[in-house]
């Protein structure tokens, strides 16, 4: 069971409560929440915020593909996964991504959650423009998208 969405933060909030509601079930004995936030430093530069850009349709497609691959790879029964990523401007400490995974056992939840975030980093078309203290900004170089 998967929920996958891009959140345009000029219109909507990214909220962990939505993730909690989605994965809540007495079938599951373990839940993991991964929350990515905007930090204040990168490459020795003081960061004041990040603008996230996204190819929305490809992002959701990649979330779905990653989820299906993880299902095939791990073969865990009864799993719920919630993935939301923002687009738009985020200040320091703001949430950029939530991945919530619920399944029977803790080892499965850790494995599944880790797989999803690592694959998102390689394959999901999201870009970051960092903003700095001196009012400068820069698109991060990133890595060429990997396809399967």
Binding residues vs other proteins (CB under 8 A): 36, 52-55, 57-58, 61, 85, 96-97, 117, 120-121, 123-129, 139-145, 147
How many other CB atoms are there within 10 angstroms of residue 60's CB atom?
17
Q: Which is nearer to other proteins, 57 or 107 (CB)?
A: 57
The residue among 72 and 143 lying less far from other proteins, judged by its C-beta, is 143
Token match 């996964």: residue? 81
Q: What is the nearest approach in angstroms of other proteins to the Cβ of residue 90?
A: 12
Element holding 66 (H helix, E strand): helix 56-74
CB of 49 to other proteins, least distance (A): 15
Show the DSSP H helices in 24-131 as ranges. Answer: 56-74, 106-123
């Amino acid at each position: 069971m998967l929920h996958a969405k891009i959140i345009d933060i000029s219109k909507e909030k990214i909220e962990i409560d939505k993730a909690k509601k989605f994965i809540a079930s007495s079938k599951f004995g373990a839940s993991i929440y991964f929350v990515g936030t905007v930090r204040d430093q990168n490459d020795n530069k003081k960061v004041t915020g990040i603008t996230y850009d996204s190819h929305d349709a490809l992002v959701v497609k990649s979330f779905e593909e990653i989820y299906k691959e993880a299902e095939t790879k791990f073969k865990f029964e009864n799993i719920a996964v919630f993935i939301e990523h923002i687009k738009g401007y985020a200040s320091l400490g703001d949430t950029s991504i939530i991945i919530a995974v619920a399944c029977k056992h803790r080892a499965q939840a850790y494995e599944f959650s880790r797989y999803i975030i690592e694959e998102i980093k390689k394959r999901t078309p999201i870009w970051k423009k960092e903003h700095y203290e001196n009012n400068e900004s820069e698109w991060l170089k990133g890595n060429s998208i990997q396809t399967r």
